[in-house]
Structure 1
Amino acid sequence: MEYRQLVATYDRLDATASTIEKTEILATAFEDAGELLPELTQLARGRLFAPWEPDDLGVSSSLTARAIANATGVAHDRVEAWYRETGDLGDAAALAVENRSQATLFSGTLDVATVYETLRGLADYEGAGSQDRRIDDIAGLLADADPDEARYVVRTVVGAMRLGVGEGTIRDAVAAAFLDDSEEAVSAVERAYEVTNDFRTVSETARTRGLDGLASLGVELFRPVKAMLARKAESVADALDSTERPLLEYKYDGMRAKIHVRDGEVRVFTRRLEDVTAQFPDIVAAVEAELDAENAIVEAEVVGYDPETGGPIPFQELSKRIKRTSDIEELAAEYPVTVRVFDLLYRGDGSLLDSPLVERLARLDDLLDADGETLERATHLQPESLEDAEAFYGDALEAGQEGIIVKNLDAAYQPGSRVGYMLKVKPTMEPLDLAVVQAKWSEGRKSEWLGRLRLACWDAEREELREIGRIFSGLTDDELRELTAKLEPLVRSVEGRTAKLRPEVVIEVEYEEIQSSTTYDSGYALRFPRFGGFREDLAPEDADRLERVERLYEEQ
């Protein structure tokens, strides 16, 4: 399949704002894809890897601009100027190809498989000369590209397709292409994706084996499933009234983790499905010593504590370990953890997702070492009365935890959905988790630091971020330094001192009030927002949803 055929699909997607039309366009493309279907389901969103695979290509916008310059003979400064003017490095690449001063002696025709494999291969380069090899590979693709092809090659590299295609659109298109557009078909595709997190597998299974094949897809060790999400209850009484057979657990301020054990080997995955095994050797050692299982998936909250006082530390402190690639042992000693285990999703050779919670917990208890020092069951209670439950909630807050989780002991595990099987009870004015979409270089002595953050919540219906406010002040020098280090590699375009960002950083935001506003496209604004810390465990689509902002606004 020639790459220009995929680019034509991209252009049709770009030309419509209608989600229905986007779904129809993709369904047609998937039907015609043949053996390239797995690759197309990834490339439709500009993704080269499943969410749980290592996906760092090691290519910044600056390196990509150098590749554009090398491929076209256009000066690097001119490429950068076009990038600043258009706000889109893909558009800058198209302009460079249109104005190229050099042509390859033997130019070829790009095909989808070559583009896909070449770009995935960028992540494999290591050591001396790896950056030059990445630049050469991108330049090689661009040398054979026409302007429109160059635009989308570069957008794929920098992770900014701008097509308005999210997981829901891919899900619906797979159902329409190979099943039908019924609610049953869409639900089958969604369930298969939630347990595999890989549209390559889901789409190929739907194409070749239909509904029965999708139903057969299940949990696999070392392939993480999405976490089951909780809805917020207004009070302890409301949570109990909504739960037939309640179990209460502390809601810890930590990192939610799936711990996989396969033939004795341990891997640790975050809520974002990232593999952080290397960052937490202490968890690996604890699981090997305190969990009696050769094959299992345990869900837990990893909670950091102060080694001097033994008290819990905020997630923002613990999060320093999540992305660390050096001095890991030293950081583990500085921020030690306990692992509060609360579910068992797989044991032996089979999934437990469809088993009731009471059974999963009984089997979990059988695996835990009663004398273990690191792995412990989450603090829990089966309340006999509302008074018991409210006292337990008070104990959780007194212990420095976020609140409580109320679960139904008869419920199965539903990955990825706020289905009402779990409810959380927290203090009413809880913070929001928001994506950073824009920042501005400060002035004076802080001129080299990015601040003045523009924030956005997630609109699940439109599958895009919607702006909701800005943080103008209140950041310490250390926070500004850390923000700048995280945000500068994500800069898409610059106008004056304002930088538009690839929205990968999610932060916790405290505020005084939510107001109706026409300033931001969400329709709301935060009054006196304050930086509460980084949420390393969340992706932009995990940011708080617009519907939650609307509800909080109504409940003020």
Structure 2
Amino acid sequence: MYTFAQLYATLDETTRTSVKIEALTRYFERSEPADAAWAIFFLIGRRVRQAVPLPTLRAWAVEAAGIPDWLFGECYDAVGDFAETVTLLLPEPDEWTVDVDRSVLPFEGPQPLHRWVEEVLLPLRDQDETMQRAIVQAVWATLGGTERFVWNKLITGAFRVGVSQQLVVRALARVSGVDSSTIAHRLMGEWTPAETFYRTLLARDTTDADVSRPYPFCLAHPLDADPETLGPIDEWQAEWKWDGIRSQLIRRAGRTFLWSRGEELITDRFPEIAAIGALLPDGVVIDGEVLPWKDGAVLPFAQLQRRIGRKNLTKAILDDAPAALLAYDLLELNGIDVRNQPLERRRAELERLIATCVPGNQALLISPVVVAADWDDLAAQWATSRERNVEGLMLKRRSSPYRVGRVRGDWWKWKVAPYTIDAVLIYAQRGSGKRASLYTDYTFAVWDGDRLTPFAKAYSGLTDEEIRQVDAFVRRNTLEKFGPVRTVTPELVFELAFEGIQRSNRHKSGIAVRFPRILRWRRDKRPTDANTLEQVRAMLPEES
């Protein structure tokens, strides 16, 4: 546990990629396999189910620290991170005065990470509240400093550190000598952190892939220049950029699996796609986009969210919001990895496969190629993206292999300009982590008659200096406090950007937007210059 905590501290203290990879490499070289497996699990963003609710943990921390609850609240407000607040308030183990029963722990003294997880954290959810309290306070009285902080992160399900899965993969490839694409493949899908898994992960024999496991996704870079700079148009394949769930449809060993890019198995969410997948031959993996699709056209993304958010899919939902997988790449055929073949060959095989195995179906379709005589012709079609309910175009080099991750040069996303509005800052609260002492999370409003109605939340887009200036404004102009939220004088105007817009009964404005962020601080505008709710509603697609 100590070694893992030190790794966390090192990763959290640096922004240099080389330092992070070196720290990860040292850790994996020196750690026992069971510890390394759990470290990978947490570092790449996976988590165990939270065993104890935060309000309960708060009550136990208040009791152990011997402070009133209001003081915990003030400290939490200042720190901005629950796990860090608890860590700072509790005394170190050698200063512990509250009576605790350390015998409830299954061991004494320093222990490796996997024992803390497997023998304390995981069994915790099956205990009654009395025993949970005894165990949690015993852990707090045993662990100190960074170890306690990491434990608090794990128990609250809030473990995050500044390292990507790609960096973990690169470190593991360095340790094992196995190429990074194989390591990335083995980390996809479902697996249990254990010594056996870690040894398999680093094994040089690469024939051990699980029948359900997807391939790492190939990702595109935003196009940051005129498309004509890419060269002759006949070297490129253009497709619409769909707004759905990037997924892989897998048919192996007589079974069908649908995996999202977020590594979630979503087969049961889309039974119509699973049924079509069952008609494919074994040894096939298709990359595509799950979309709400009806009568030959894509529906607003909100229709797909109706499917995702339900435990039980009724016939009415399936009828109102049918889904389809628009396929645009073939990764495996007849059980053979074809990712290194050129795109144009993979595309031809994909078209033949769908036409032969599932002709005329409405749940597995080919994403159409956008044919253009030249770049000007393609630009004219790109300009119609909003009308088609797509985000723009994808440009893919016809000779390109299917790579792992975001590799510059072969795949580009040519997105249309986002929606933009001017809105007024009305609420603010502190951020988390390194921004816990600054007001960086903002709520913006637009005019509904003579009232400002909350419209969107955003926290990215300002420079560090602008954040400090807004923070100072919030502190000087707070009107009311609601827990961590501050109501501020409605004076500051910002230009917001967002990718999608839809109706929503869950928002006061009646509208929800996708991926809102701050474009710029409009110091040249007054609050009365902000957009109206009526103007925002005019942006809604007709299908909404």
For Structure 1 versus Structure 2, the TM-score category normalised by the shorter chain is 0.5 to 0.7
Say yes or no: does 1:227 pair with 2:217: yes
- The 2-side partners of 1:158 and 1:74 are apart by 21
- The 1-side partners of 2:442 and 2:314 are apart by 32
Q: Where does residue 338 of structure 1 map in the other structure?
A: 324
Q: Where does residue 478 of structure 1 map in the other structure?
A: 505
- Per the TM alignment, residue 104 of structure 1 is displaced from its structure 2 partner at its CA by 0.8
Compared CA separation, residues 130 and 509, structure 1 to 2 (3 A)? farther
Q: Where does residue 235 of structure 2 map in the other structure?
A: 245
Say yes or no: does 1:363 pair with 2:349: yes
- The 1-side partners of 2:170 and 2:522 are apart by 33
- Which of 281, 286, 298 aligns to 1:312? It is 298
Q: Where does residue 509 of structure 1 map in the other structure?
A: 516
Alignment of 1:146-295 (within 5 A): 146=144, 148-161=146-159, 163-174=161-172, 188-189=179-180, 191-197=181-187, 204=198, 213=204, 216=206, 221-233=211-223, 238=228, 241=231, 245-288=235-278, 291-295=279-283
- The 2-side partners of 1:234 and 1:207 are apart by 37
Q: Which has the larger radius of gyration?
A: 2
Q: Where does residue 116 of structure 2 map in the other structure?
A: 115
Code of the aligned partner of 1:111:
P
Q: Where does residue 455 of structure 1 map in the other structure?
A: 459
Q: Where does residue 352 of structure 1 map in the other structure?
A: 338
- Per the TM alignment, residue 37 of structure 1 is displaced from its structure 2 partner at its CA by 5.3
RMSD: 5.1
Compared CA separation, residues 385 and 166, structure 1 to 2 (3 A)? closer
Q: Where does residue 395 of structure 2 map in the other structure?
A: 406
- The 1-side partners of 2:304 and 2:536 are apart by 14
- Per the TM alignment, residue 412 of structure 1 is displaced from its structure 2 partner at its CA by 0.7
- Which of 13, 28, 31 aligns to 1:30? It is 28
**Matched position secondary structure for 1:380:** coil
Compared CA separation, residues 111 and 259, structure 1 to 2 (3 A)? same
- The 2-side partners of 1:338 and 1:56 are apart by 31
Compared CA separation, residues 234 and 146, structure 1 to 2 (3 A)? closer
Question: How high is the TM-score relative to the length of structure 2?
Answer: 0.67
Say yes or no: does 1:90 pair with 2:97: no
- The 2-side partners of 1:514 and 1:470 are apart by 5
Flag structure 1 segments of 5+ consecutive residues without an equivalent. Answer: 50-54, 180-184, 444-448, 460-466, 487-505, 518-526, 534-556
Deviation by residue 1:227-247 (Cα, 9 ceiling, x = unmatched): 222233468852762666322
**Matched position secondary structure for 1:248:** strand
Q: Where does residue 425 of structure 2 map in the other structure?
A: none
Q: Where does residue 61 of structure 1 map in the other structure?
A: 54
Say yes or no: does 1:374 pair with 2:349: no
Q: Where does residue 299 of structure 1 map in the other structure?
A: 287
Code of the aligned partner of 2:400:
A
Q: Where does residue 145 of structure 1 map in the other structure?
A: 143
Deviation by residue 1:253-275 (Cα, 9 ceiling, x = unmatched): 32222112222322222222222
Contact (CA 8 Å) 1:46, 1:161: kept in 2 or not?
Answer: no
Contact (CA 8 Å) 2:420, 2:495: kept in 1 or not?
Answer: no
Deviation by residue 1:14-61 (Cα, 9 ceiling, x = unmatched): 555655444443333222113235335426738555xxxxx5446543
Q: How many residues align?
A: 462
- The 1-side partners of 2:415 and 2:443 are apart by 36
Code of the aligned partner of 1:371:
G
Q: Where does residue 496 of structure 1 map in the other structure?
A: none
Identity of aligned residues (%): 17
- The 2-side partners of 1:161 and 1:103 are apart by 26
- The 1-side partners of 2:63 and 2:275 are apart by 48
Contact (CA 8 Å) 2:64, 2:137: kept in 1 or not?
Answer: yes
Code of the aligned partner of 1:325:
K
